[in-house]
Chain A
Amino acid sequence: MLSKNKLLDILTILTVVLFFGVFAMVLFYAPIEVNMGLVQKVFYFHMASAWIGMLAFLVAAVAGVLYLVRRNPRSDYLGASSVEIGLVFTAVANFSGMIWAKPIWNTWWTWDPRLTTMTIMAFTYIAYLLLRRAMDDPARRAQFGAIYAIVGFATVPLTFFSSRLMRTIHPTIFGSGETDMAMNAPMYQTMAAAVVMFTLLFAVILWHRVRLMAARQHLAGLQAARDEAFDGGGQHA
């Protein structure tokens, strides 16, 4: 479990290579958007980060269900790691969105459903981390974390639909007949590459983080055993 993992090493290197590849695609391959100009290039990272934010919180909710059913600490590590990573990517999506919004919408912030939902979701998972920090017993912490991850994720679509009942100016890329952004083939390809690369990046960081948590737990167990061995020996001598 704690030994070196060949596959993980290969994936890590692959992710780094792909990262620069996608970066080059965004800069040199994807054409400049007609209406928005250079600033539209932030879109590839913005959209991919937002996707990872959603994916990470979905993974955390699934890990929560798994934990409640099987009580395997690894599911807890998976959920907690996924939330941490998801929060970082949600922050990237939000701030890159603001950078994009300022020149295009002439405002840093608007009460658009996607923005609002993303931000409320971020606060849900900040609360998740606070809840974990306020609990000492690892088993109870895992249990409460699992429950909150499930309940929190269940409200995300409802938050989205409720904020969608109001008007929006956010460009709709999927799921509507007309798009507000002029996208051609190289742009779609760059977007797909960014999404694939970010998903791989997420998986690799997640894997590293879960291993780190497991290693830490293992170490704590060893230290406890050592302390007990020394103390026990002292008492009996």
Chain B
Amino acid sequence: MKNSLKTIRVLVWKDLVQEWRSKDMLTAMFSFAVLSLFIFNYAMELDPASRADLAAGIIWVVIVFAGTLGLNRSFTAEQDQGAFDALMMAVPDLSLIYFAKFITNFLVMVFLTLLVIPIYSLLYNQALFAPALGLVLLLGAWGYSAAGTLIASMTVQTRMRDLLLPILLFPLLMPVNMAVVKAASAVLAGVALADVSGWLNLLVVYNVIMTTISIMVFAYVIQE
């Protein structure tokens, strides 16, 4: 167990350091997110009231779309440089690779969320600093990364790669999308967390199911 945790920590650290040194992916995701916020502004020139209602939806859409950029990259280093075999030999259990990639993707999503929310607040002059919103988005990021890591590990090995990832991933994410947007809009409108417990339960159930299945099947994805 201790050994596993150490393996995961090393793998996550490796990916984070690798990304931090180039910052290619973070820069791309950040630019994409901000540009999308600008597009939304001009696509829906709304009065302040309806804009406030749409905030949760817009933020989540931006995070989901920008997130696919990061997911697409999450296995490319290993795939392109033939490091998968070395990685598989280095870990005591193949599912640890999934765990590590999942945690890295989750951290990237959280980082992205932490960038998008203040920028949205700034651009649209709407205060969004609510712990309840943070909880909903964290649960969403968990589900998104759990499904996204598994799908990215498959698409990176196909011919269509980046093209295929959103097509495979988005249908699986529908429950997450609905739950996050509904719960987040309710929370932003001042509804108590207890009153959106249905959506939160759904998110937790989805996350647990998706993470469990991914761990079970991941070995089949990377083994020849």
Contact = CB atoms under 8 A, between A and B. Distances in A.
B78 to A, nearest CB: 16
Among A131, A136, A148, A158, the one with the most B-chain Cβ atoms within 10 Å of its Cβ is: A158
B98 to A, nearest CB: 12
B202 A130 contact: no
A96 interface: no
A150 B217 contact: yes
Interface in A95-135: 120-121, 123-124, 126-127, 130-131, 134-135
A131 B168 contact: yes
30 contacts: A68-B217, A68-B220, A121-B171, A124-B171, A126-B167, A127-B171, A130-B164, A130-B167, A130-B168, A131-B155, A135-B157, A143-B220, A144-B154, A144-B157, A146-B220, A147-B217, A147-B221, A150-B213, A151-B147, A151-B217, A152-B171, A152-B172, A154-B210, A155-B171, A158-B206, A159-B175, A161-B202, A162-B175, A162-B179, A165-B198
Contact of B174 (A134, A144, A159): A159
B171 A123 contact: yes
Tell me whether chain B's interface is mostly helix, strand or loop, or mixed. Answer: helix
B17 interface: no
A163 interface: yes
Interface of A: 68, 120-121, 123-124, 126-127, 130-131, 134-136, 140, 143-144, 146-148, 150-152, 154-155, 158-159, 161-163, 165
A140 B217 CA distance: 13
Given A130-B164, A162-B202, A136 B159 contact: yes
Interface residues on B, range: 20 to 34
A154 B178 contact: no
A138 to B, nearest CB: 13
Interface in B146-193: 147, 150, 154-155, 157-160, 164, 167-168, 170-172, 174-175, 178-179, 182
Nearest to B170: A123
A64 to B, nearest CB: 9
Nearest to A165: B198
Nearest to B179: A162
B202 A158 contact: yes
